[in-house]
Every structure is written in C-alpha cells, then in structure tokens.
Amino acid sequence: MKTRRPRLIAFQFAGGNRHAYRSLQRELDPQIELCCFELPGRGRRHSEALLTDLRSMVKDLLGPIADSVAGVPYALFGHSMGSQLARLASRLLLEQGVPAPRCLIVSASPAPCRPLRTERHRLSSVDFLRELRRLGGCAPEVLSNAELIALVLPVLRADFQAIETYRADAGPPLSCPILVLRGLEDGEVTRADAEAWRAETTGSFEMHDLPGGHFFLFAHLRQVAAWIEHAVGGPDPSA
C-alpha cells in the first residue's frame, strides 16, 4: 500500500520568489511537501516581464499547479499577496474540474470583500522604501544596498500594484475549510478584515491571532506549521 504525500501549494508575498517559504518548509512535517512556483520577473524567470494583475499571476501558474496536485491531497497557502493568489487559484482549479483543496490557508490579508484602499505603488522611490521599512518585509541589508534595491524595487512595485488594484469578482463561496492567520499588531489587517474571510466558504472556518506585525509568520514558524499540519492532514493511502 502506497501513500500519497499531501502537498502544500504556497503563494509568495509581495517581492517574494519560489524560495520565500524555505524556513517554513524546515518546520513542516516531512510528510507534507511544500511547492512554490516562480512568477515572471524573478528568480529563474527574471528575464520575463513582471505582471501587475493578480488574475494574470494565477493564470500564469495554473497549469503547473494543476499538474502538481493531480491525484494528490493538497492545500493552498499564502501570506499577504499570496492569500489572494491562493483564493483565486482555488476558484480557477475548481473551474477546471480539479478536486477542492483540503484547506485554504490565508495569512496577513484582508478578505477579498475588504479591498485595500492604498496606492503605495504610485509613491516616489524614497516614500515607497519608507513604507517597506515600516512593513518590515525586506531585510535591512537589502534596503541599505543600492544595487539590491535596484533589483527588488521593480518587483515590489509591480506586486503592490497588483494587490492595490485588485477587486474580487462576486461569486459563490468555496466549500473547503478556511484557516486564517493574523498578526495582532498588523496595521494592514484588522480583526474585522480577517474575520470577513468567513463569508468566503460554506465549510468550516478557523482563525488564529499571533503576536507581531505584518510579517508575524516568520517569528512563529513552529506554531504556524502545526496549524498547517492539522489543516492539511496526513497522507492518503492509495493502491
């Protein structure tokens, strides 16, 4: 009797690449395989044009994602921008006839019905960098290095444009469980913003707050991994 390892399909936060969750992978049970696919304009795809629309991002990745979850139990996970990508992916996969995920896990993101009203992608470079420092998503050594800033700033600005211009389409709720994670000191996501995810599913809903700001996740990897493991479950037996 063989077992099929569950897969956690992870979607990167703004400015991230396919290695964004390496530290989370180290905390996860080895039974769960974490997969993160590269978006255009970064990593191995650095020569491709950046995308500034969340739907285009998901459609770009949908083929590889569908192939990776064929016949395998899976869950979708995202932090910040990645949460919206994960939700969009869950809908498009269902439209293609792919079985529903075991769980949609969203972190540091308001529900789609509560879109962002900021326009940070239009800020000057100086003001944009100031916002990045405040949010805490970039390492100080990156923000203090002119060459690295020149590399990451276009990616971050494109991602912020995608997040800030996204407006969710009306549609029926999902049926899979949703797990929501939020930082208690995250000024970007209020408790009401996070609780509004409840309307996105007819399935079960679970929410956890943790100390920290917008990138609280990386200070609580073991606890986050435990919640993910519970949501994803163990491997399924197959012939």
Annotated catalytic residue within 23, 47, 68, 80: 80
Q: In whole angstroms, give the CA distance from residue 129 to residue 81.
A: 18
Is 80 part of the annotated catalytic residue set? yes
Q: Which residues are catalytic?
A: 80
